[in-house]
C-alpha cells in the first residue's frame, strides 16, 4: 500500500519516467542538449530538467504539458516557428511523433536521465568539431594542381586543349576575325578604350607575322591597362568612396587604395605579392607607405551607423566572406551560423579565419616621412592640450541639464524600454540589450534642448565655450592619410570566440587563428606565431597570407586564372567564378584550367604574362559569328568554338563616348570626380550630398574609374548599365537589356553634350564635307568604314535636319555595335 502511494505521488509531480518517456529523453539528448544543456543555453533555454522547460527561455515556455501546439520545443522542431530546430537538419518524423506524444502525456522526465555525462567543455568541443573526409578532399577544386601535357602540338597550348574538346564533341573552330574587329576587341578588352583611326589603319597595313603581338605588348604597357583591369578588381573587393547605409559618410582618402591597385597592375606586381600586401602589407613591409595603403582592402566594405559587438561581427563576416570568395572562390560566409551545407567548410574554420582578422581595425594612417610625422604629432599634441580643457568644461556645464532631460525622456518611454534601462547591463537579456541600444540614441540632448532649460548666465557660458571650441577645431593640424588597416592591440590580441548559431549571445570556445582546412594538406596546417606582447602586430594576417598564396594552395591560382579567362572570353572555364564548391559549376575544360594555373605559378605569378598567353591564342582571335552546325550541338558556346559577344560595362561605355567625342581627360589617379546627377534623385535623403558639376564641366570628363563611388547615390548611367552593388563582392556583372539604357543615351545632358563635341571634332577633322564626316564618324566610333547603304541613310538624315550632324553623332552612341565587343 505504501509503495502504491509513493508511486502515485511521484507520477502526480511528474518525476516518474516511463519507457515511452525515456524515448523522448533520448530525442532531447541526441538533438537538443548540445545547444540547450550543460555546455550552453542558447536563447536562455535549458532543457536538462522539467522545471527549466516549463520556465523556458527568452521566447517563452519550451514545455506546456498536454499541448504541443503551445510548446516551443515542439513548434521549432516541427518547423512551425523559425528557425527550425535542430539547426542544419530536419528532425525525423518518428522522433517528432515521440516528442509530440510525450508532451501530450504531460512531459514527464527524470532529470538525471537527461543530463549529459560529459562536462561542458567536452560538449562544446564535440559540437564545434567537423572532420574533413578523404572523399571530400577529392573534389576537383581541392585536389593539388597538376600540369597536364597539352593533348597535341600547337603554337599555343590553349588551342590544343580547346581543339581536343571540339573533336570530342564534333565541333569546328571559328575562322580568324578580321583585323579591324580584332584590334577593336583587344583595345576594349585590355584598356577599355576604342582604338584611334590611326592605330586601326596602322595595324591593318602591318603584314608582319607579329603584327598582333606588337599591338598586345603595346596595350599591356599602356597605363590604361591598369585602369581597365583595376575596375575588375575593385568589383571583387566591394570598393566605394563612402560607407553606405543611411548616412553614407564619405571616405575622402580611400581613393589611394584604388590608385594603388591601378599602379600595381601597371607594374605587373606578381599576383601572390599583390594579395599578400592587401591582407598584411603592414606586417610584410612595416613603415612602407604603399604597403599601408594596400591593406585598405580589408575594410572597404560598408560601415554600419551603429558601432557595437553585433555590427563588429557583421564587419568581420564581410571581411571573411570577401576574402573567401575573391581569393579562394569559396563561400566561407555560409559557415557563420552552422557548418556549410554543401562544402566541407566547418563553422570552426570560419571562426578560426575570423580570428586572423580579429585584432585588426580600420584606420587612417599618415603617409608622410618621419620628420613630417613627428612635427605633426607634436602639433596635434599641442592642439589637443588646448581643446580638451574647453571640452571638459563644457561637458561639466551640460551634465546636470543633460541628466534632467534624459530622465524626462525615460519617463515617456514604454514600460519595456524603461525596464531594459533599469536592468544592469550584465543582467540584460538579448532583447533588453537590443532595446537599450535602440533607445539610447533617443535619450541624448542637443545643444538647443540643453540651453532652453539653462538660466541666462549658463547660456552665456555655453555660447562662449562653443565659440572657443569651434575656433580651436579649425586650427586642427592636417596631414595626408590613407584608408588602411591597423592593429592597436596586435601584441596582445583580444580573444575571439566560436559563436554557436552565429549569435554573440552563444559564445563557445576561444578561437585560435587558422585556415580553410580542406585546402590544406592533411596534418600540414600552417603554424601561427605566438603573440609577442612587445610587438606592434600579431602577424596573424601575414601567416594567413603566406598559406593562401602558396604555390601548393589548390584554389588560389585556379581562381585567378579563371577570372582572367572570364574577362577575355566572356565566361570563365568555371562559370561561377567565385564559387568553386559543389553548388558552383564544374570546369568545362578542367585540364586547361590546371595547365593555366600551373603556368601562372611557373611564370612568377605575372598577370601580364597570362594576358599575353590568352590574347595570342587562336581561340582569342576567332570571329564571334555563329556556325549553325556548332550551334545545334553547343548552343551556349560552352566549348568555346567562337569568340564571345559581350556588351561593354557601364564604365567602358561612358569612357568610349568621351574618347570618341575627343573630350576624355586621361589624367591618372587622384580624388574622385562628381559628374552631374539630378538633385531630385537624392536631395530628399538625410545627411547625403553629391556636389556634382555641370554636364559641360570638362573637369568631370575623367575615366569612369575615377568617378566618386557613393554607395547610395550611383551615377544613373552606371546604375542602368549594371554597375554592381558595392556592398558585397561582384565576380560577374549582370548584362541586362532595358529600354532606359537607350533613353539615357538619347536624352541625358551628358550624351547630348558629348554628341555636340563629337560633331565639332568631325568638323575640325574633315571640314564641312558631309560624306567625309560620316566616314570619319564610323571609323572613330566603330573602327570601320560605313557600307554604301549606311552612308546613304546618314547623308539623307544629316542633310534634311537642322541639327542633323549632332543627332547623327548621338545615334552612333546608341548603336549595338558601339556598345558590344564582337
Contact 350, 343 (CB under 8 A): no
pLDDT in tens, 679-703: 888 876 666 889 988 999 999 999 9
Instruction: Tell whether the torsion through CA atoms of 582, 585, 588 and 594 is positive or negative.
Output: negative
> What is the pLDDT confidence band of residue 2, given thresholds at 50, 70 and 90?
very low
Mean of pLDDT over the chain: 90
pLDDT at 110: 58
> What is the pLDDT confidence band of residue 114, given thresholds at 50, 70 and 90?
low
pLDDT in tens, 388-443: 999 999 999 999 998 998 888 888 888 888 888 889 988 888 788 888 887 877 88
Pairwise pLDDT comparison (768 vs 373), residue with the higher score: 768
Could you give the angle at which helices 255-266 and 223-236 cross, rounded to 10 degrees?
Answer: 130
> What is the pLDDT confidence band of residue 160, given thresholds at 50, 70 and 90?
very high
Task: Decide: helix, strand or coil at residue 429.
Answer: coil
pLDDT at 5: 37
Of 567, 549, 556, the residue nearest 231 (C-alpha): 567
Asked if the model's pLDDT at residue 367 lies above 90, the reply is no
Average the pLDDT over each of 443-452, 648-657, 712-721 and give the range with the smallest value: 443-452
Over residues 12-35, the mean pLDDT reads: 68
pLDDT at 327: 97
Asked if the model's pLDDT at residue 157 lies above 60, the reply is yes
Average the pLDDT over each of 174-188, 345-359, 381-395, 435-449 and give the range with the smallest value: 435-449
Average the pLDDT over each of 157-161, 242-246, 488-492, 534-538 and give the range with the smallest value: 488-492
> What is the pLDDT confidence band of residue 673, given thresholds at 50, 70 and 90?
very high
pLDDT in tens, 534-568: 888 999 999 999 999 999 999 999 999 999 999 99
pLDDT at 501: 86
Average the pLDDT over each of 30-44, 234-248, 777-791 and give the range with the smallest value: 30-44
* Residues β-bridged to residue 365: 482
Asked if the model's pLDDT at residue 1 lies above 70, the reply is no
> What is the pLDDT confidence band of residue 233, given thresholds at 50, 70 and 90?
very high
Pairwise pLDDT comparison (39 vs 667), residue with the higher score: 667
Asked if the model's pLDDT at residue 15 lies above 70, the reply is no
pLDDT at 261: 98
Asked if the model's pLDDT at residue 17 lies above 60, the reply is no
Of 399, 431, 405, the residue nearest 417 (C-alpha): 431
* Residues β-bridged to residue 622: 176
Rounded CA-CA distance 277/297 in Å is 9
Asked if the model's pLDDT at residue 377 lies above 80, the reply is yes
Contact 281, 541 (CB under 8 A): no
Burial class (CB in 10 A: 0-12, 13-18, 19+), 632: exposed
Rounded CA-CA distance 331/731 in Å is 12
DSSP-assigned letters across all residues of 81-137: SSS-SSTTSPPPHHHHHHHHHHHHTT----HHHHS-SS-HHHHHHHHH--PPPHHHH
pLDDT at 8: 40
Rounded CA-CA distance 278/257 in Å is 9
pLDDT at 73: 85
pLDDT in tens, 290-315: 999 999 999 999 998 888 899 999 99
> What is the pLDDT confidence band of residue 207, given thresholds at 50, 70 and 90?
very high
Contact 451, 462 (CB under 8 A): yes
Amino acid at each position: 500500500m505504501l509503495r502504491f502511494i509513493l508511486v502515485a505521488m511521484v507520477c502526480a509531480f511528474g518525476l516518474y519516467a516511463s519507457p515511452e518517456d525515456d524515448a523522448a529523453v533520448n530525442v532531447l539528448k541526441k538533438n537538443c542538449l548540445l545547444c540547450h544543456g550543460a555546455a550552453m543555453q542558447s536563447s536562455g533555454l535549458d532543457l536538462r530538467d522539467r522545471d527549466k522547460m516549463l520556465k523556458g527561455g527568452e521566447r517563452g515556455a519550451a514545455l506546456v504539458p498536454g499541448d504541443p501546439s503551445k510548446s516551443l520545443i515542439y513548434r521549432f522542431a516541427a518547423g512551425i516557428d523559425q528557425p527550425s530546430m535542430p539547426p542544419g537538419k530536419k528532425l525525423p518524423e518518428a522522433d517528432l511523433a515521440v516528442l509530440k506524444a510525450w508532451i501530450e502525456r504531460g512531459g514527464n522526465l527524470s532529470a538525471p536521465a537527461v543530463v549529459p555525462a560529459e562536462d561542458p567543455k567536452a560538449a562544446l568541443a564535440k559540437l564545434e568539431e567537423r572532420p574533413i573526409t578523404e572523399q571530400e578532399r577529392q573534389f576537383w577544386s581541392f585536389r593539388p594542381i597538376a600540369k597536364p601535357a597539352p593533348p597535341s602540338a600547337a603554337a599555343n597550348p590553349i588551342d590544343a586543349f580547346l581543339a581536343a574538346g571540339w573533336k570530342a564533341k564534333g565541333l569546328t573552330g571559328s575562322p580568324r576575325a578580321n583585323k579591324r574587329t580584332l584590334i577593336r576587341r583587344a583595345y576594349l578588352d585590355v584598356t577599355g578604350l576604342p582604338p584611334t583611326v590611326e592605330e586601326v589603319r596602322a595595324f591593318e597595313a602591318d603584314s608582319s607575322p607579329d603584327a598582333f603581338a606588337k599591338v598586345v605588348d603595346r596595350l599591356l604597357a599602356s597605363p590604361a591597362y591598369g585602369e581597365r583591369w583595376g575596375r575588375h578588381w575593385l568589383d571583387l573587393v566591394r570598393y566605394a568612396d563612402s560607407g553606405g547605409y543611411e548616412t553614407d559618410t564619405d571616405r575622402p582618402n580611400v581613393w589611394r587604395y584604388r590608385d594603388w591597385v591601378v599602379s600595381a597592375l601597371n607594374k605587373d606586381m606578381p599576383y601572390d605579392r599583390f594579395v599578400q600586401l592587401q591582407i598584411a602589407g603592414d606586417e610584410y613591409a612595416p613603415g612602407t607607405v604603399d604597403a599601408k595603403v594596400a591593406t585598405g582592402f580589408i575594410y572597404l566594405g560598408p560601415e554600419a551607423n551603429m558601432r557595437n559587438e553585433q555590427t563588429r561581427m557583421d564587419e568581420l563576416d564581410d571581411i571573411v566572406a570577401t576574402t573567401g570568395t575573391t581569393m579562394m572562390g569559396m563561400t566561407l560566409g555560409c559557415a557563420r551560423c552552422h557548418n556549410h551545407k554543401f562544402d566541407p567548410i566547418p563553422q570552426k574554420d570560419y571562426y578560426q579565419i575570423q580570428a586572423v582578422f580579429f585584432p585588426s581595425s580600420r584606420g587612417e594612417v599618415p603617409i608622410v616621412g618621419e620628420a613630417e610625422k613627428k612635427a605633426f604629432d607634436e602639433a596635434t599634441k599641442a592642439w589637443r592640450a588646448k581643446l580638451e580643457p574647453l571640452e571638459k568644461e563644457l561637458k561639466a556645464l551640460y551634465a546636470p541639464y543633460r541628466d534632467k532631460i534624459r530622465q524626462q525622456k525615460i519617463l515617456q518611454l514604454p514600460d519595456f524600454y524603461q525596464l531594459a534601462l533599469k536592468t544592469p547591463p550584465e543582467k540584460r537579456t538579448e532583447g533588453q540589450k537590443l532595446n537599450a541600444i535602440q533607445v539610447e540614441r533617443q535619450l541624448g540632448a542637443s545643444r538647443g534642448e540643453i540651453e532652453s532649460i539653462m538660466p541666462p548666465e549658463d547660456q552665456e557660458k555655453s555660447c562662449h565655450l562653443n565659440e572657443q571650441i569651434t575656433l580651436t577645431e579649425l586650427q586642427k593640424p592636417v596631414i595626408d592619410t590613407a584608408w588602411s588597416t591597423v592593429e592597436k592591440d596586435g601584441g596582445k590580441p583580444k580573444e575571439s570566440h566560436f559563436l554557436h548559431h552565429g549569435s554573440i549571445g552563444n559564445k563557445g570556445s576561444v578561437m585560435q587563428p587558422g585556415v580553410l582546412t580542406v585546402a590544406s594538406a592533411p596534418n600540414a596546417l600552417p603554424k601561427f606565431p605566438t603573440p609577442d606582447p612587445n610587438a606592434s602586430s600579431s602577424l596573424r594576417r601575414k601567416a594567413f597570407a603566406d598559406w593562401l598564396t602558396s604555390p601548393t594552395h589548390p584554389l588560389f591560382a585556379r581562381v585567378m586564372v579563371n577570372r582572367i579567362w572570364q574577362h577575355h572570353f566572356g565566361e570563365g572555364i568555371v562559370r561561377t567564378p567565385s564559387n568553386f564548391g559543389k553548388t558552383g559549376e564544374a570546369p568545362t575544360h578542367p585540364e586547361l584550367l590546371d595547365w593555366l594555373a600551373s603556368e601562372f605559378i611557373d611564370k612568377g605569378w605575372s598577370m601580364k604574362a597570362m594576358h599575353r598567353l590568352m590574347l595570342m591564342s587562336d581561340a582569342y582571335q576567332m570571329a564571334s559569328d555563329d556556325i549553325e552546325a556548332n550551334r545545334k550541338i553547343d548552343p551556349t558556346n560552352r566549348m568555346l568554338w567562337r569568340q564571345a559577344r559581350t556588351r561593354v560595362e557601364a564604365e567602358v561605355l561612358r569612357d568610349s563616348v568621351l574618347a570618341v567625342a575627343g573630350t576624355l581627360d586621361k589624367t591618372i589617379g587622384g580624388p574622385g570626380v562628381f559628374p552631374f546627377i539630378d538633385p531630385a534623385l537624392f536631395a530628399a535623403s538625410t545627411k547625403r550630398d553629391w556636389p556634382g558639376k555641370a554636364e559641360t564641366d570638362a573637369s568631370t570628363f575623367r575615366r569612369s574609374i575615377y568617378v566618386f563611388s557613393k554607395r547610395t547615390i550611383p551615377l544613373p548611367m552606371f546604375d542602368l548599365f549594371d554597375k554592381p552593388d558595392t556592398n558585397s563582392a561582384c565576380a560577374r556583372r549582370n548584362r541586362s537589356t532595358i529600354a532606359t539604357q537607350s533613353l539615357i543615351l538619347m536624352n541625358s545632358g551628358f550624351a547630348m553634350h558629348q554628341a555636340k563635341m563629337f560633331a565639332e571634332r568631325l568638323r575640325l577633322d574633315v571640314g564641312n564635307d558631309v560624306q567625309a564626316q560620316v566616314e570619319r564618324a564610323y571609323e572613330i566610333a566603330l573602327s570601320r568604314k560605313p557600307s554604301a547603304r549606311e552612308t546613304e541613310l546618314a547623308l539623307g538624315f544629316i542633310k534634311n535636319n537642322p541639327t542633323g550632324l549632332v543627332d547623327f553623332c548621338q545615334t552612333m552612341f546608341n548603336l549595338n555595335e558601339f556598345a558590344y565587343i564582337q
